[in-house]
Structures are given as C-alpha cells and as structure tokens.
C-alpha cells in the first residue's frame, strides 16, 4: 500500500495497514513528518531569561495544540505506537478562565455532575447567566444534539446573555472549530459538545502536550513503522508527481511504482487535486464528477497563528496562574488563549499566544500581542517567533462540502478535511487515517 502524505492522517493510515500485516510505503514531499502539526527548530534572536543565548536552538511547535479526553482514537493510536500518555500529556478538568479568575472551571467529577457544578460555580457569571446556559444545554440534550444543517453557532446561542456568548461560547467555538461563531457550523459544534461533555468519561478534560508535537505522534509512529516485522518504506523529501491506473492485479501507480492500494493523505490543493482528476479522467470521463476531486479547491481555509515570547518567570518557574488561560479577544488584542510552556515541559518564562482564525501577518500579530500581554496579563513580553500556518484548517461552516473518503477502487482520501463528524482537529485526522488504512 502507498500513503501519499506524512501528516497525522497519513501516518495513522500507515500504522493501520502495518498493524493489519500489510507492507506500507509512505511518500512525504517535505523534509519533516507531521504535516500541519509538527515540531520546528528555531534560532533564538536574543538572550532569554534563563541563560539562553542568541543563536541557541529551541524546539517549538508550528502551532500550540490542545487535545481533549474525547479524542479516543488519537489516544488509542498514540498508545499503540508506544507513547506514554500519562507523561506526554497533562490531563486536567476543563478550565476556561481569564487572568482575573472569572470563567468556567469544571471539578474532577463524573459527567454530567462536573458540568452542573462548574456552571453553578463559575466565577463572574450572574445567576441568570448560569441558569440560561443550563437551560440551553438541556434543550440541546433533549434534541439529541441536533439542529438544522444551515444553523450557525451564533444562531444556536443567540438567546444566551451577551457575556456568555463573548466569554464562553465564542472562545469555545473558535478553539474547537477554528471558525468564528457567527460562521461556524452549529451541528459540528453540538457533536463536539456531545462527545466531550456526555458521551465519553473524562471527555471534557484538557490534554495539554508536555512534549513537542513530533514526539507526541509523528516521530513515535515513524519509529514504530520502521521496527521489525513492519519495516515500512518511509520516504521523506519525495514529492508525488504522477498518479495513474496500474495494470491488474495491482490498482495504481504512484510515481510509476505500482501499488495495490493508495491512501491520498494530503490537505488537498489545486496541484494535488488535479493529479486525482487526471487519473480518474483517464479511466472514465464521468468519474471525476462522481468522486468530487476538485471540491477541496473551493473550500475556504483558516489560519492559526502562534506568537512565542519570553516573559518573567515567577516562583517555581511559573509565569501564569494556570498552564492555559483564556484572553479577551478585543479590537487590537487578537489572541484568544495563552499557554505557559514553562508548566508544560518547556523552559520557564516561555509563553505561547494563540490566534485562531487569524487574518493578519506575523509582524502585526506580534506587535498586537505585546500590547495585549501588557494590558491583560500585566506582562512585558519579548517575542521570539511568530508562526502563521496559513492553511491550518478548513472553515467549518454549515453544510460545507467536504470531499468523500472513497475516490475509486483502491484509492481513498484521508485527512481532517474528508467527510466526517469532526472539524479540522487532530482527532478528525486520526480517525480518518485509521479508517482509510483498512484494506479488508
């Protein structure tokens, strides 16, 4: 089997096939594994607060990611390839609090008692706010967490008090779907809430990486795939330029090499979609329409920016009160969350500010976050690197047309953009890859 793309979905497909006893060849055009969720090495532009010197190397992620306890397939696959989940991820009850202490913090209780207690005990919310949220959540539950396909999150929550919408629903939505609430799919939002709050024990728990993303999945998967008896053929720096029908009994050729099955695990763009289009057109002039190979070109994409910065570390190496805090997204203040990397295995004083659904460039984001940190955290920070992943996710809007997994006999897609119940998340990628890697 051939897997085209060495991101999270592609490696999940390769692990599935190898686990089932098949030989796998993985093609990855870049020089690194992990796709849009990977580890990068940077050169420090200036001295740091702990003796770091300008010119030193520092490992960062190309974007600060969080997982939740409902990511059952992600956790299962990590364990399969040997990741120590307990040490690699800091598990805490859901906390969506601001620097002033206001917001929602769930206790470590069974569901749904944790949600009930967390809402009733939320700091800074009026009783009318709390009761309105509980009534709305009960209404969603009675409706089976379903809504009209055309509904947005903003429309679902229009009757909630303004403070709840701005300080709870909006950050929750943009963190889960990376799409503003007035544009985001209400049905996908409800599915995530159902799995996190009601369907999975501990599903709402935050899982914060304490190791670089590369160690969390891509490097571990690659190491597992290379071990006997699997010995997968893993090809970094190998771009796929041709895809065509093979001579039976094999199905396809990739770069003129025959395979019995191909998983196309690339976040499709015009060039890669055209390869599928041309391959199908050579078989049947009607096939491209049936398989919708050009749909990804019409999808809208969202950027995620992460501003890494030094800040003074306090007692115990902590800069913030908690490993993650919500920030008030206001005009001129773009970040929705900040992470204290010093509490997550990184050097003390390293902060990561996350701007989901970002629309600005790195320089302006960096300058704005400096002002935001001073105003909202009381911190004078020193930016060291701003990473903007321009096509981090697809815009998860109502009734967005996502391409199907099945393309043609022996050819399937994998990735978080492929049809499925989840938005563009690590869990969506892993579920898609595992399903695509099944050859039986």
What predicted TM-score, i.e. pTM, was given to this entire model?
0.92
User: Is pLDDT above 70 for 162?
Assistant: yes
Structural domain includes residue 239:
yes
Domain end: 204, 231, 247, which one?
204
pLDDT tens, residue by residue, 213-256: 999 999 999 999 999 999 999 999 999 988 888 888 788 999 99
Q: What percent of the chain has pLDDT over 70?
A: 93
Same domain, 295 and 405: yes
Q: Is residue 78 part of a domain?
A: no
What's the pLDDT band for 188 if we cut at 50, 70, 90? very high
pLDDT 10s digits, 398-428: 988 888 898 888 999 999 989 888 888 999 9
Instruction: Judge whether 83 lies within some domain.
Output: no
> What does the pLDDT average to over 28-50?
90
Domain count along the chain:
3
In this prediction, residue 294 carries a pLDDT of 43
User: What tens digit of pLDDT does each residue of 332-387 get?
Assistant: 999 999 999 999 999 999 999 999 988 889 999 999 999 999 999 999 999 999 99
User: 330 and 185 in one domain?
Assistant: no
Statement to judge: residues 98 and 195 lie in one domain: yes
Q: Is the pLDDT of residue 298 over 70?
A: no
Domain boundary residue, one of 204, 237, 259: 204
In a domain, 6, yes or no: yes
Q: What does the CA dihedral 170, 174, 180, 186 come to, rounded to 10 degrees?
A: -80
Whether 306 maps to a domain, the answer reads yes
**Average pLDDT for 44-59:** 86
One domain, residues 111 and 178: yes
Residues 324 and 313 in one domain: yes
Q: Are residues 100 and 199 in the same domain?
A: yes
Q: Please, what sign has the CA dihedral across residues 186, 191, 192, 193? A: positive
Q: Are residues 293 and 421 in the same domain?
A: yes
Residue 10 within a domain: yes
Q: Assess whether 260 and 407 both reside in one domain.
A: yes
Q: What is the rounded (10 degree) CA torsion for 97, 102, 108, 114? A: -110
Assign residue 112 the CATH number of its domain. Answer: 1.10.3110
> pLDDT at position 273, please?
60
Both 98 and 192 in one domain: the answer is yes
By C-alpha distance, which of 273, 215, 218 is closest to 30? 218
Q: Give 29 or 301, the one with higher predicted confidence.
A: 29
Same domain, yes or no: 370 and 422: no
Query: Is residue 147 assigned to a domain?
Result: yes
For residue range 15-33, list pLDDT tens digits in order: 999 999 999 999 999 999 9
Instruction: Tell me how far CA of residue 387 lies from CA of 55, 63, 154, 255, 390, in angstroms.
Output: 18, 7, 29, 33, 9
- pLDDT by residue (tens digit) across 132-149? 999 999 999 999 999 999
Residue 271 sits in a domain whose CATH number is 3.50.50.60
Domain identity same for 292 and 367: no
- Among 204, 236, 255, the domain boundary falls at 204
Do 106 and 191 fall into the same domain? Answer: yes
Which residues constitute the domain of residue 318?
A: 39-64+301-394
Instruction: Identify the pLDDT of residue 77.
Output: 98
Q: What average pLDDT does the chain have? A: 90
Residue at 112 is within a domain = yes
Grouping H, G, I as helix, E, B as strand and the rest as coil, residue 273 is: helix
């Amino acid at each position: 089997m051939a897997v085209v793309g060495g991101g999270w979905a592609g490696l999940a497909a390769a692990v599935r096939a190898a686990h089932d006893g098949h030989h796998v060849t993985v093609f990855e055009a870049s020089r690194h594994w992990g796709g849009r969720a990977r580890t990068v090495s940077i050169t420090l532009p200036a001295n740091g607060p702990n003796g770091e010197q300008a010119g030193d190397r520092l490992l960062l992620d190309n974007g600060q990611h969080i997982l939740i306890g409902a990511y059952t397939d992600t956790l299962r696959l990590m364990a399969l390839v040997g990741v120590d989940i307990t040490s690699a991820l800091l598990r805490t009850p859901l906390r969506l609090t601001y620097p002033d202490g206001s917001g929602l913090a769930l206790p470590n209780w069974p569901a749904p008692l944790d949600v009930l207690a967390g809402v009733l005990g939320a700091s800074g919310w009026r009783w009318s706010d709390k009761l309105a949220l509980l009534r709305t959540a009960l209404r969603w539950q009675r409706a089976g967490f379903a809504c009209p396909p055309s509904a947005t999150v903003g429309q679902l929550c229009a009757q909630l008090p303004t403070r709840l919408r701005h300080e709870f629903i909006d950050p929750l939505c943009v963190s889960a779907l990376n799409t503003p609430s007035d544009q985001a799919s209400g049905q996908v939002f409800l599915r995530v809430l159902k799995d996190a709050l009601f369907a999975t024990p501990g599903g709402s728990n935050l899982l914060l990486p304490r190791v670089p993303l590369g160690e969390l999945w891509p490097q571990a998967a690659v190491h597992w795939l290379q071990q006997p008896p699997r010995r997968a053929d893993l090809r970094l720096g190998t771009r796929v330029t041709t895809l065509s029908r093979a001579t039976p009994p094999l199905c396809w050729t990739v770069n003129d090499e025959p395979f019995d099955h191909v998983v196309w695990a690339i976040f499709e763009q015009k060039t890669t979609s055209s390869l599928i289009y041309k391959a199908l057109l050579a078989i049947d002039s009607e096939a491209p329409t049936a398989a919708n190979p050009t749909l990804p070109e019409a999808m809208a994409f969202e950027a995620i920016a992460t501003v890494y910065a030094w800040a003074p570390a306090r007692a115990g190496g902590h800069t913030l009160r908690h490993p993650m805090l919500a920030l008030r997204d206001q005009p001129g203040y773009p970040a929705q969350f900040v992470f204290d990397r010093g509490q997550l295995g990184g050097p003390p004083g390293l902060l990561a500010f996350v701007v989901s659904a970002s629309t600005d460039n790195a320089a302006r984001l960096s300058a704005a976050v400096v002002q935001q940190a001073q105003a909202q955290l009381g911190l004078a920070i020193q930016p060291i690197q701003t990473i903007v992943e321009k096509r981090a996710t697809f815009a998860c809007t109502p009734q967005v047309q996502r391409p199907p997994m099945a393309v043609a006999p022996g050819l399937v897609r994998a990735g978080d953009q492929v049809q499925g119940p989840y938005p563009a998340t690590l869990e969506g990628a892993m579920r898609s890859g595992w399903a695509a890697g099944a050859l039986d």
